Amino acid sequence: MANYGDFAHRLTAIGADIDEIAFDALREAVADGEVQRPIDDKKLMQARRAIEKAAGILHQLDAEDSDNW
C-alpha cells in the first residue's frame, strides 16, 4: 500500500525548495539592478503550483485511505 501522506510531504518540501530558489533569483536580480522579474521565475512558480496541486491530491488520497481503515 502506498503512503500518500509521505509523498505529499515530500512534494511540499520540494515546493518550498522551489520557493527558495525563486526568492534567491529575485534577490539577485534586485541586487543587479534588474527592473523585471527573472526569466525563470514564471516557470518556477508554474512548477510550484503544479507540485502544490499534486500534494493536495495526495493528501486527499491519504485521508480517504485512512477513512477506509
Q: Mean pLDDT over all residues of the chain?
A: 92
69 residues of the chain, pLDDT tens digit each: 569 999 999 999 999 999 999 999 999 999 999 999 999 999 999 999 999 999 999 999 998 877 665
Which is nearest to 55 in space by CA: 4, 1, 8?
A: 8
Domain ranges of the chain: 4-67
Check if the beta carbon of residue 59 is closer than 8 Å to that of residue 29: no
